[in-house]
Protein backbone atom coordinates (compact mmCIF):
# COMPACT_ATOMS: atom_id res chain seq x y z
CA UNK A 1 0.00 0.00 0.00
CA UNK A 2 2.82 2.40 0.92
CA UNK A 3 4.72 1.58 -2.27
CA UNK A 4 1.65 1.96 -4.49
CA UNK A 5 0.60 5.25 -2.88
CA UNK A 6 4.06 6.82 -2.85
CA UNK A 7 4.87 5.81 -6.44
CA UNK A 8 1.52 7.17 -7.62
CA UNK A 9 2.13 10.43 -5.74
CA UNK A 10 5.68 10.64 -7.14
CA UNK A 11 4.40 10.18 -10.69
CA UNK A 12 1.79 12.91 -10.28
CA UNK A 13 4.30 15.47 -9.04
CA UNK A 14 7.13 14.54 -11.49
CA UNK A 15 10.11 12.51 -10.32
CA UNK A 16 13.43 14.27 -9.59
CA UNK A 17 15.37 11.25 -10.80
CA UNK A 18 18.04 12.26 -13.34
CA UNK A 19 17.57 9.63 -16.06
CA UNK A 20 20.31 10.99 -18.35
CA UNK A 21 22.92 10.99 -15.59
CA UNK A 22 21.90 7.48 -14.57
CA UNK A 23 22.23 6.17 -18.14
CA UNK A 24 25.79 7.54 -18.27
CA UNK A 25 26.86 6.05 -14.93
CA UNK A 26 25.02 2.71 -14.80
CA UNK A 27 26.99 -0.18 -16.32
CA UNK A 28 23.79 -2.10 -17.19
CA UNK A 29 21.72 0.76 -18.63
CA UNK A 30 24.64 2.14 -20.65
CA UNK A 31 24.76 -1.05 -22.76
CA UNK A 32 21.03 -1.20 -23.47
CA UNK A 33 19.87 -3.28 -20.49
CA UNK A 34 17.65 -2.00 -17.68
CA UNK A 35 18.71 -2.04 -14.02
CA UNK A 36 16.38 -2.28 -11.03
CA UNK A 37 16.97 1.33 -9.93
CA UNK A 38 15.85 2.63 -13.31
CA UNK A 39 12.69 0.49 -13.13
CA UNK A 40 11.99 1.74 -9.62
CA UNK A 41 12.44 5.42 -10.45
CA UNK A 42 10.78 5.26 -13.84
CA UNK A 43 7.40 7.02 -13.87
CA UNK A 44 4.55 4.95 -15.29
CA UNK A 45 1.46 6.04 -17.15
CA UNK A 46 -1.35 7.01 -14.80
CA UNK A 47 -3.61 4.19 -16.04
CA UNK A 48 -1.08 1.68 -14.64
CA UNK A 49 -2.08 2.72 -11.11
CA UNK A 50 -5.32 0.77 -11.21
CA UNK A 51 -6.96 -1.50 -8.66
CA UNK A 52 -6.36 -4.58 -10.84
CA UNK A 53 -2.66 -3.78 -11.17
CA UNK A 54 -2.47 -3.16 -7.43
CA UNK A 55 -4.10 -6.55 -6.79
CA UNK A 56 -1.58 -8.27 -9.09
CA UNK A 57 1.23 -6.56 -7.18
CA UNK A 58 -0.16 -7.75 -3.83
CA UNK A 59 -0.63 -11.42 -4.71
CA UNK A 60 2.28 -12.11 -7.10
CA UNK A 61 3.30 -15.44 -5.54
CA UNK A 62 7.14 -15.35 -5.80
CA UNK A 63 7.27 -12.04 -3.94
CA UNK A 64 4.16 -12.31 -1.75
CA UNK A 65 5.08 -15.59 -0.01
CA UNK A 66 8.63 -14.84 1.14
CA UNK A 67 10.46 -13.17 -1.69
CA UNK A 68 12.45 -9.96 -2.06
CA UNK A 69 10.57 -6.68 -1.68
CA UNK A 70 9.89 -4.92 -5.00
CA UNK A 71 8.52 -1.42 -5.48
CA UNK A 72 5.24 -1.04 -7.36
CA UNK A 73 6.89 0.88 -10.21
CA UNK A 74 9.51 -1.83 -10.74
CA UNK A 75 6.89 -4.59 -10.70
CA UNK A 76 4.32 -2.94 -12.97
CA UNK A 77 6.89 -1.85 -15.56
CA UNK A 78 8.01 -5.48 -16.06
CA UNK A 79 4.56 -6.90 -16.76
CA UNK A 80 4.51 -5.43 -20.27
CA UNK A 81 8.28 -5.75 -20.84
CA UNK A 82 9.82 -8.76 -19.02
CA UNK A 83 13.36 -8.34 -17.75
CA UNK A 84 16.19 -8.84 -20.25
CA UNK A 85 19.13 -8.18 -17.93
CA UNK A 86 19.55 -11.90 -17.12
CA UNK A 87 19.85 -14.44 -19.93
CA UNK A 88 18.41 -17.96 -19.73
CA UNK A 89 21.90 -19.29 -19.01
CA UNK A 90 22.40 -16.81 -16.17
CA UNK A 91 19.05 -17.74 -14.61
CA UNK A 92 19.90 -21.46 -14.86
CA UNK A 93 23.30 -20.89 -13.22
CA UNK A 94 21.57 -18.89 -10.49
CA UNK A 95 19.28 -21.87 -9.79
CA UNK A 96 22.24 -24.27 -9.69
CA UNK A 97 24.06 -22.06 -7.18
CA UNK A 98 20.92 -22.12 -5.03
CA UNK A 99 20.95 -25.94 -5.10
CA UNK A 100 24.61 -26.00 -3.99
CA UNK A 101 23.79 -23.58 -1.15
CA UNK A 102 20.96 -25.88 -0.09
CA UNK A 103 23.42 -28.79 0.13
CA UNK A 104 25.66 -26.65 2.34
CA UNK A 105 22.72 -25.90 4.64
CA UNK A 106 21.98 -29.62 4.93
CA UNK A 107 25.57 -30.24 6.01
CA UNK A 108 25.47 -27.47 8.61
CA UNK A 109 22.17 -28.57 10.15
CA UNK A 110 23.39 -32.18 10.45
CA UNK A 111 26.87 -31.55 11.84
CA UNK A 112 26.75 -28.21 13.69
CA UNK A 113 24.37 -27.58 16.60
CA UNK A 114 24.53 -23.82 17.17
CA UNK A 115 20.78 -23.31 17.34
CA UNK A 116 20.28 -26.22 19.73
CA UNK A 117 22.57 -24.51 22.26
CA UNK A 118 20.61 -21.26 21.87
CA UNK A 119 17.11 -22.71 22.10
CA UNK A 120 17.92 -25.00 25.04
CA UNK A 121 19.67 -22.25 27.03
CA UNK A 122 22.83 -24.36 27.43
CA UNK A 123 24.94 -21.37 26.38
CA UNK A 124 24.72 -20.14 29.99
CA UNK A 125 26.98 -22.99 31.08
CA UNK A 126 29.61 -22.53 28.39
CA UNK A 127 32.88 -20.58 28.40
CA UNK A 128 33.13 -17.11 26.79
CA UNK A 129 35.02 -18.58 23.82
CA UNK A 130 32.29 -21.17 23.24
CA UNK A 131 29.56 -18.51 23.48
CA UNK A 132 31.40 -16.38 20.92
CA UNK A 133 31.72 -19.37 18.54
CA UNK A 134 28.03 -20.19 18.93
CA UNK A 135 27.03 -16.56 18.32
CA UNK A 136 29.20 -16.39 15.21
CA UNK A 137 27.80 -19.70 14.00
CA UNK A 138 24.20 -18.59 14.56
CA UNK A 139 24.84 -15.40 12.58
CA UNK A 140 26.25 -17.37 9.63
CA UNK A 141 23.43 -19.92 9.87
CA UNK A 142 20.84 -17.12 9.74
CA UNK A 143 22.57 -15.59 6.72
CA UNK A 144 22.53 -18.89 4.83
CA UNK A 145 18.93 -19.65 5.86
CA UNK A 146 17.60 -16.33 4.56
CA UNK A 147 19.80 -16.56 1.47
CA UNK A 148 18.10 -19.87 0.56
CA UNK A 149 14.60 -18.51 1.16
CA UNK A 150 15.06 -15.25 -0.72
CA UNK A 151 17.09 -16.63 -3.61
CA UNK A 152 14.57 -19.40 -4.21
CA UNK A 153 11.74 -16.89 -4.67
CA UNK A 154 13.96 -14.50 -6.64
CA UNK A 155 14.82 -17.41 -8.96
CA UNK A 156 11.09 -18.08 -9.35
CA UNK A 157 10.41 -14.44 -10.24
CA UNK A 158 13.32 -14.35 -12.73
CA UNK A 159 11.90 -17.42 -14.49
CA UNK A 160 8.61 -15.48 -14.72
CA UNK A 161 10.38 -12.45 -16.25
CA UNK A 162 10.32 -10.18 -13.19
CA UNK A 163 13.63 -8.94 -11.78
CA UNK A 164 13.76 -8.48 -8.01
CA UNK A 165 16.72 -7.12 -6.02
CA UNK A 166 19.25 -9.63 -4.72
CA UNK A 167 18.69 -9.74 -0.96
CA UNK A 168 22.14 -11.11 -0.07
CA UNK A 169 24.55 -9.62 -2.64
CA UNK A 170 27.59 -9.98 -0.36
CA UNK A 171 28.71 -12.64 2.11
CA UNK A 172 28.16 -11.72 5.75
CA UNK A 173 31.86 -12.34 6.45
CA UNK A 174 32.89 -9.69 3.92
CA UNK A 175 31.34 -6.66 5.66
CA UNK A 176 33.36 -4.48 8.01
CA UNK A 177 31.09 -1.48 8.61
CA UNK A 178 27.49 -1.30 9.73
CA UNK A 179 26.13 0.54 6.71
CA UNK A 180 27.75 -1.93 4.32
CA UNK A 181 26.32 -4.78 6.38
CA UNK A 182 22.77 -3.45 6.28
CA UNK A 183 22.99 -2.65 2.58
CA UNK A 184 23.81 -6.31 1.96
CA UNK A 185 21.47 -8.01 4.46
CA UNK A 186 17.88 -8.04 3.14
CA UNK A 187 19.01 -5.52 0.53
CA UNK A 188 15.56 -5.20 -1.06
CA UNK A 189 14.12 -4.13 2.30
CA UNK A 190 16.97 -1.64 2.62
CA UNK A 191 16.07 -0.16 -0.78
CA UNK A 192 12.41 -0.03 0.27
CA UNK A 193 13.27 1.74 3.54
CA UNK A 194 15.49 4.27 1.76
CA UNK A 195 12.84 5.11 -0.85
CA UNK A 196 9.74 5.14 1.35
CA UNK A 197 11.06 6.15 4.80
CA UNK A 198 14.63 7.47 4.83
CA UNK A 199 14.27 10.02 2.02
CA UNK A 200 10.79 11.29 3.10
CA UNK A 201 12.14 11.68 6.67
CA UNK A 202 14.88 14.04 5.43
CA UNK A 203 17.57 11.71 4.07
CA UNK A 204 21.20 12.43 4.87
CA UNK A 205 20.31 15.82 6.38
CA UNK A 206 18.83 14.03 9.42
CA UNK A 207 20.78 10.78 9.23
CA UNK A 208 21.67 10.58 12.95
CA UNK A 209 17.98 10.83 13.88
CA UNK A 210 16.63 8.74 11.03
CA UNK A 211 18.59 5.61 11.94
CA UNK A 212 16.73 5.41 15.29
CA UNK A 213 13.31 5.75 13.65
CA UNK A 214 14.09 3.25 10.89
CA UNK A 215 15.69 0.55 13.06
CA UNK A 216 12.84 0.79 15.57
CA UNK A 217 10.41 0.31 12.68
CA UNK A 218 12.45 -2.66 11.42
CA UNK A 219 12.35 -4.32 14.87
CA UNK A 220 8.56 -3.87 15.15
CA UNK A 221 8.15 -5.03 11.54
CA UNK A 222 9.85 -8.32 12.49
CA UNK A 223 7.95 -8.80 15.75
CA UNK A 224 7.07 -6.79 18.85
CA UNK A 225 9.61 -8.30 21.27
CA UNK A 226 11.94 -6.63 23.74
CA UNK A 227 14.95 -8.56 22.48
CA UNK A 228 14.38 -7.25 18.94
CA UNK A 229 13.94 -3.69 20.18
CA UNK A 230 17.13 -4.13 22.23
CA UNK A 231 18.89 -5.38 19.10
CA UNK A 232 17.65 -2.37 17.11
CA UNK A 233 18.66 0.21 19.71
CA UNK A 234 22.06 -1.40 20.31
CA UNK A 235 22.67 -1.32 16.55
CA UNK A 236 21.79 2.40 16.49
CA UNK A 237 24.03 3.01 19.49
CA UNK A 238 26.94 1.54 17.53
CA UNK A 239 25.82 3.09 14.24
CA UNK A 240 25.83 6.75 15.31
CA UNK A 241 29.56 6.92 16.27
CA UNK A 242 30.43 5.22 12.97
CA UNK A 243 28.51 7.87 11.03
CA UNK A 244 30.23 10.67 12.94
CA UNK A 245 33.72 9.19 12.41
CA UNK A 246 33.13 8.61 8.72
CA UNK A 247 31.88 12.15 8.27
CA UNK A 248 35.11 13.42 9.86
CA UNK A 249 37.31 11.11 7.75
CA UNK A 250 35.61 12.38 4.58
CA UNK A 251 37.14 15.79 5.26
CA UNK A 252 40.59 14.35 6.01
CA UNK A 253 42.97 14.64 3.05
CA UNK A 254 46.05 12.40 2.88
CA UNK A 255 48.82 12.85 0.29
CA UNK A 256 51.83 11.03 1.76
CA UNK A 257 52.69 7.38 2.45
CA UNK A 258 52.74 7.82 6.24
CA UNK A 259 49.29 9.39 6.26
CA UNK A 260 47.92 6.63 4.04
CA UNK A 261 49.41 3.98 6.36
CA UNK A 262 47.83 5.63 9.42
CA UNK A 263 44.46 5.91 7.67
CA UNK A 264 44.64 2.27 6.64
CA UNK A 265 45.44 1.09 10.17
CA UNK A 266 42.70 3.30 11.54
CA UNK A 267 40.31 1.73 9.04
CA UNK A 268 41.32 -1.80 10.09
CA UNK A 269 40.89 -1.01 13.79
CA UNK A 270 37.54 0.67 13.09
CA UNK A 271 36.44 -2.37 11.11
CA UNK A 272 37.39 -4.70 13.98
CA UNK A 273 35.44 -2.55 16.44
CA UNK A 274 32.41 -2.46 14.12
CA UNK A 275 32.38 -6.24 13.64
CA UNK A 276 32.71 -6.72 17.42
CA UNK A 277 29.77 -4.36 18.03
CA UNK A 278 27.73 -6.15 15.38
CA UNK A 279 28.46 -9.47 17.09
CA UNK A 280 27.36 -8.09 20.47
CA UNK A 281 24.12 -6.64 19.04
CA UNK A 282 23.23 -9.94 17.37
CA UNK A 283 24.18 -11.98 20.44
CA UNK A 284 21.70 -9.92 22.43
CA UNK A 285 19.06 -10.04 19.71
CA UNK A 286 19.23 -13.71 18.78
CA UNK A 287 21.17 -15.67 21.44
CA UNK A 288 21.26 -14.36 25.01
CA UNK A 289 18.44 -11.77 24.89
CA UNK A 290 18.26 -8.53 26.96
CA UNK A 291 18.26 -10.49 30.22
CA UNK A 292 21.66 -11.94 29.34
CA UNK A 293 23.45 -8.59 28.98
CA UNK A 294 24.64 -8.60 32.63
CA UNK A 295 25.83 -12.20 32.25
CA UNK A 296 27.66 -11.28 29.05
CA UNK A 297 29.46 -8.30 30.61
CA UNK A 298 30.36 -10.24 33.76
CA UNK A 299 31.69 -13.31 31.97
CA UNK A 300 33.69 -11.49 29.31
CA UNK A 301 35.34 -9.12 31.79
CA UNK A 302 36.55 -11.97 33.97
CA UNK A 303 40.02 -13.52 33.79
CA UNK A 304 39.02 -16.18 31.27
CA UNK A 305 36.97 -13.73 29.19
CA UNK A 306 39.52 -10.98 28.52
CA UNK A 307 41.84 -13.18 26.39
CA UNK A 308 38.80 -14.18 24.33
CA UNK A 309 37.93 -10.52 23.74
CA UNK A 310 41.54 -9.82 22.74
CA UNK A 311 41.69 -12.80 20.40
CA UNK A 312 38.30 -11.92 18.91
CA UNK A 313 39.37 -8.34 18.23
CA UNK A 314 42.69 -9.44 16.70
CA UNK A 315 40.89 -11.92 14.44
CA UNK A 316 38.50 -9.22 13.23
CA UNK A 317 41.42 -6.79 12.70
CA UNK A 318 43.27 -9.29 10.49
CA UNK A 319 40.03 -10.19 8.72
CA UNK A 320 39.33 -6.51 7.95
CA UNK A 321 42.79 -6.05 6.42
CA UNK A 322 42.23 -9.16 4.32
CA UNK A 323 38.94 -7.67 3.10
CA UNK A 324 40.85 -4.49 2.18
CA UNK A 325 43.27 -6.52 0.03
CA UNK A 326 40.44 -8.40 -1.69
CA UNK A 327 38.59 -5.17 -2.42
CA UNK A 328 41.75 -3.46 -3.69
CA UNK A 329 42.48 -6.35 -6.08
CA UNK A 330 38.92 -6.04 -7.38
CA UNK A 331 39.32 -2.28 -7.93
CA UNK A 332 42.66 -2.71 -9.67
CA UNK A 333 41.04 -5.10 -12.16
CA UNK A 334 38.52 -2.34 -12.86
CA UNK A 335 41.29 0.21 -13.41
CA UNK A 336 40.76 2.24 -10.22
CA UNK A 337 43.40 3.25 -7.70
CA UNK A 338 43.52 0.98 -4.63
CA UNK A 339 43.83 3.91 -2.24
CA UNK A 340 40.47 5.24 -3.41
CA UNK A 341 38.92 2.21 -1.73
CA UNK A 342 40.14 3.19 1.74
CA UNK A 343 38.80 6.72 1.36
CA UNK A 344 35.47 5.50 0.00
CA UNK A 345 35.19 2.84 2.68
CA UNK A 346 35.35 5.31 5.52
CA UNK A 347 33.93 8.37 3.89
CA UNK A 348 31.22 7.09 1.60
CA UNK A 349 30.32 3.64 2.98
CA UNK A 350 31.41 1.64 -0.05
- The structural domains of the chain, with segments of one domain joined by +, span 1-83, 86-164, 167-350
Are residues 179 and 238 in contact, defined by beta-carbon separation less than 8 angstroms? no
Spatial neighbors of 325 by CB under 8 A, at least 6 apart, are none
Tell me the pLDDT tens digit for each residue of 283-337: 776 667 666 777 777 777 777 778 888 888 888 888 888 888 888 887 787 666 5
**Top mean-pLDDT range of 24-38, 129-143, 284-298:** 129-143
How many Cβ atoms are within 10 Å of 54's Cβ, its own excluded?
18
Minimum mean pLDDT range among 96-100, 102-106, 293-297, 324-328: 293-297
From 84, 11, 82, select the one nearest 50 (Cα to Cα): 11
Question: Which of the residues are catalytic?
Answer: 222
Q: What is the pLDDT of residues 196-223, one digit of tens each?
A: 888 888 877 888 888 889 989 988 887 7
pLDDT category at 230 given cuts 50, 70, 90 is: confident
Q: What pTM value is reported for the model?
A: 0.78
How far is it, in rounded angstroms, from Cα 309 to Cα 248?
Answer: 28
Distance CA 176, CA 249 (A): 16
> Side-chain half-sphere of 190: how many Cα atoms within 13 Å?
15
Amino acid sequence: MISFGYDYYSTRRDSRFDHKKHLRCCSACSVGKTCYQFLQEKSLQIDKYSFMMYLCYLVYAPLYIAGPIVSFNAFASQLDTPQKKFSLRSVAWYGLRWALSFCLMEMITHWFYYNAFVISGLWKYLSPLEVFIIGYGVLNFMWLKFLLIWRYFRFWSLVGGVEAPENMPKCINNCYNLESFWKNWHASFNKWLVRYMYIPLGGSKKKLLNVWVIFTFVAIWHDLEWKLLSWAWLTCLFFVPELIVKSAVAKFQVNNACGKFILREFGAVSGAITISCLMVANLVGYVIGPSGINWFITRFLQKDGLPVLGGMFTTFYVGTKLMFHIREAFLMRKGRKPYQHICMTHAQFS
